[in-house]
Amino acid sequence: NAGVTQTPKFRILKIGQSMTLQCAQDMNHNYMYWYRQDPGMGLKLIYYSVGAGITDKGEVPNGYNVSRSTTEDFPLRLELAAPSQTSVYFCASSNKGNTEAFFGQGTRLTVV
Amino acid sequence: AQSVTQLGSHVSVSEGALVLLRCNYSSSVPPYLFWYVQYPNQGLQLLLKYTTGATLVKGINGFEAEFKKSETSFHLTKPSAHMSDAAEYFCAVRDPYGNKLVFGAGTILRVKS
């Protein structure tokens, strides 16, 4: 019963490097989300998707890209890493609007 | 657009005392409301949710919350704090006609022995 799986758990990037944060869910959920968590700021929505092939921007999308080619996977791409992207990233999924979101364990990213 | 305000970034209570964490929301329509808990270095776990029906909602670990439309509030309470309740708590809101799940800034609960 895996739920939402995020990889990697930790990563250090140099400024200007790129990487993809992976997220997979096995609950057949239509909705998937990417959040970043910074101390004292709560969770900010980066991007979300309501189904395969459909994505939309959240509150803080600049510097990130997403794709949703399958129901299960929702990768988050950082093209040119910047120190401001140092954060903890959470992926989540839900079935529909009135149900709760299930969260992965997070990816701690440091950009130096 | 909906938003969430959690009053108090840090709350400290003694073990056995009442826990009260405050959440106010802004939404143009009656929203869906959620409380999540996060323990150190972990993801978020659902405590309870309000969608429709009874306005007093009971969750896990003895927590409950009451939806008050007139006050646009969804405060989280627990009659008697336990040391294991020390964590960060997040209130979240979703517009029933929208797709975004919006979180508050979080409240760190400290329980003193």
Given a cut of 70, is residue B2 above it in pLDDT? yes
The answer to whether A102 and A41 are in contact (CB under 8 A) is: no
Please measure the distance between the N-terminal and C-terminal CA atoms of chain A and give it in whole angstroms: 36
Mean pLDDT for the stretch of residues B86-92: 96
A82 to chain B nearest CA, in Å?
Answer: 23
Given a cut of 80, is residue B98 above it in pLDDT? no
Angstrom distance (rounded) from CA B69 to CA B73: 7
Backbone φ and ψ of B70, nearest 5°: -65, -25
Token pair in block for residue B52: 């429709």
Higher-confidence position of A96 and B33? B33
Mean pLDDT for the stretch of residues B47-68: 93
The answer to whether B108 faces chain A, any CB pair under 8 Å, is: no
The answer to whether A4 and A25 are in contact (CB under 8 A) is: yes
Q: Which of A40, A97, A106 sits opposite B96 (nearest CB)?
A: A97
The residues of A whose Cβ lies within 8 A of any Cβ of B are 4, 31, 33, 35, 40-45, 48, 50, 56, 58, 90, 92, 94, 97-98, 100-106
The answer to whether A85 and A109 are in contact (CB under 8 A) is: yes
Window B:53-82, CB contacts with A under 8 Å: none
Higher-confidence position of A53 and B100? A53
- Yes or no, beta carbons of B101 and A41 under 8 Å apart: no
Angstrom distance (rounded) from CA B83 to CA B64: 18
Give the DSSP letter string of A25-65: ESS--SEEEEEEEETTTEEEEEEEEEETTEEEE-S--TTEE
B15 to chain A nearest CA, in Å?
Answer: 24
pLDDT at B82: 97
Contacts of A9 in chain B (CB under 8 A): none
Q: Quick one: closest CA in B to A51, which residue?
A: B99
Contacts of B49 in chain A (CB under 8 A): 100
Per-residue pLDDT of chain A (112 residues), as tens digits, is 679 999 999 999 999 999 999 999 999 999 999 999 998 888 999 999 999 999 999 999 999 999 999 999 999 999 899 999 999 999 999 987 668 899 999 999 999 9
Given a cut of 90, is residue B20 above it in pLDDT? yes
- Within a 10 A sphere around the Cβ of A71, how many other Cβ atoms? 17
Task: Using a pLDDT cut of 70, give the percent of chain B over it.
Answer: 100
